[in-house]
Structure 1
Amino acid sequence: MVIIQTATWGETEVNENEIYRFEKGIPGFEDNRSFVLLDQGDHPFYYMQSTEDQELAFVVVDPFLFYSDYEFELSESEKEELGIESLVEVWCVLTLNKQAELSTINLLAPIVLNPEQHTGKQVVLHQTSYQTKHPLRPAGISKSNAQKEGE
């Protein structure tokens, strides 16, 4: 067990095998290379907390809960960099808004984790229609259905 410092939860104990190494950091936060997923009971939302900077944490979610048809392919070099042979986890960063219905999900740059090697990388997708700010709504609900439910 390792104790990390977080701005929100103070000292938090995590298993060493729950820490993911990002060899190149995350774009914009290249100096932070070690992160852990924290489940604080806000399902389906998790926190990806830097183990090096207590102030740095991202709210992340399984994108397939909101976009069941979400898909992309990792390049062979990305698979090699992450040591991916079979298991992979995909998370996307949320931008939260005070009005929950205005929160967005970044489908353009998913966070890909290899739970076997404990490696991670934020992958920026190219030649795609995905953007950094997609509406956050449960999978299977079209925009027109979501609007009807809110009426």
Structure 2
Amino acid sequence: MIIETLTWGTLDISEEQVYRFSRGIPGFEEETEFAVIRVEEGPFSYLQSLKNHSLSFLLSDPFVFYPSYEFELPDSDKEELEIEDDVIVLSMVTIREELEQSTLNLLAPIVLNPGKHTGKQTVLHKSAYGTRHHLWNAPKGEFKKGGE
């Protein structure tokens, strides 16, 4: 499948890279189909909208930066995503002008079911995680309320 992107121009992606978000992503509810484009080196990838070539999100494997990161996925989300066994968890990254100030959103992970190609950004309620955990120099196993 050929898609157009603002950042990389024309890309040839496979159906295996496409995930359907039944409710979109908060703030982008009309965007329901995305391709996961992995960066060859490192823990990063992009979530590229198939409908809007200028909409993409930088993602990362949160366990690389916060190995003790854990949460319980609500049963309603498991049902919506049709999760039985395999699951991929990614977090949105915000790059700052000063790279060491870049952050990872651990409060609202992107959860993907690679078997069914479904996805959802899940907001964790009653969580000590925040939306701005430092990407670099992450304290091992420590989380401060709100990610500050």
How does the TM-score come out when normalised to structure 1?
0.89
Match of 2:42 in 1: 43
Report the CA distance shift for 1:14/1:138 in structure 2 as closer, same or farther (over 3 A). farther
Preserved CA contact (<8 Å) 1:5 1:54:
yes
Q: What secondary structure sits across from 2:52 in the alignment?
A: coil
Cα offset, 1:76, TM superposition: 1.2
C-alpha distance in 2, partners of 1:103/1:73? 26
Aligned length: 142
Task: Give the aligned partner of residue 146 of structure 2.
Answer: none
C-alpha distance in 2 between matches for 1:113 and 1:89: 5
Q: What are the ranges of 5 or more consecutive residues in structure 1 without an aligned counterpart?
A: 144-151
* Contact map agreement 1:47 1:58 (CA 8 A) in 2: yes
Larger Rg: 1
CA-atom RMSD in angstroms = 1.6
State how far apart, in whole Å, the 2-side matches of 1:51 and 1:137 are.
30
Q: Give how far 1:38 is off.
A: 0.9
Matched AA of 2:16: N
Name the counterpart of 2:114: 115
CA-to-aligned-CA distance 1:38-61 (integer Å, 9 cap, x gap) = 123352211111111111000000
**In structure 2, how many angstroms separate the alpha carbons of the residues matched to 1:106 and 1:5?**
27
Identity, % of aligned positions:
49
Partner of 1:60 in structure 2? 59
Separation in 2 of the partners of 1:142 and 1:80?
Answer: 30
1:104: Cα distance to partner? 0.3
Please list every run of 5 or more consecutive structure 2 residues that lacks an aligned counterpart in the other structure. 143-148
Q: What do the CA deviations read for 1:78-133 (whole angstroms, capped 9, x no partner)?
A: 10100000000000000001211000000000000000000000000000111100
CA distance in 2, matches of 1:34, 1:10: 18
The letter of the residue matching 1:50 is: S
